[in-house]
Structure 1
Amino acid sequence: MNDREDFDPILMFFITFFFGGFGVHHFLRRHYGLGVLYFFTFGLMGIGWFIDTIRAFIAMFKTSDEPRRDGRRCRQCGRRIEPSRNSTLCAHCEEKMEQEYLQISKHFTRVIDEVEKGQPHLEGYLRRFDILNKDVEQM
């Protein structure tokens, strides 16, 4: 997760200013190691707190239209996506999704075979799969 992602810079400045000595701003950003370190050393004896407060103050004045350095993130796991990819998923999650889709399609191929062999109770199940399959193909 990006340090500034999902947090209002003004709110983060005030949290850092008032509670930064206890590492609260690091816990919010999920930097638990730094949060614990700040908590037990009172913001690295005030020096770390002071630097973080200045950084948070500067972040308040940065405009949101500045390009982000980290690029796009995967909607599944949060990893960075290469700029050349046109997907909203990283390569790892996309491959995982394709494998799951193949397993599901193999399963339903067996169901189709069973329906063709004369098991009519599976026809409703097959109709629902057909609708689901069309939705997945449109994605």
Structure 2
Amino acid sequence: APQKVIEEFYNQTWVHRYGERILPTTLTTLWSLSVAIFSVGGMIGSFSVGLFVNRFGRRNSMLMMNLLAFVSAVLMGFSKLGKSFEMLILGRFVIGVYCGLTTGFVPMYVGEVSPTALRGALGTLHQLGIVVGILIAQAAG
């Protein structure tokens, strides 16, 4: 399970830095922070949608926000190499901001470019895709 892999990474990082195993309470706190920080980032991102759309437009905002996805991937991807659980947590926060922003941008943009007769149906497909993806992920374990 991903939790065990990440907790082992946290423990290895802790041992590398401090020469002792991480306390179970600290490990639980770090794991909880790792899980929750994504939602915090998503909340901040979703509240920021209006700022970006009004300033840069829907299409340009979506294009610019892909940089956040790249930065997040770099942070999380190199966290093991850098022996830094902080990079992993920061990467999850950044991808949370990205997800919050794109969850607002995409339906707006789809609504703009869709034919009037299909606007409602196409506007819901983005959220339907997210929900189906979560369902498949939960079913797969």
TM-score (norm 1): 0.32
Structure with bigger helix share is: 2
Structure with larger RCO (C-alpha < 8 A, sep 6+)? 2
Highest CA radius of gyration, 1 or 2? 1
TM-score (norm 2): 0.31
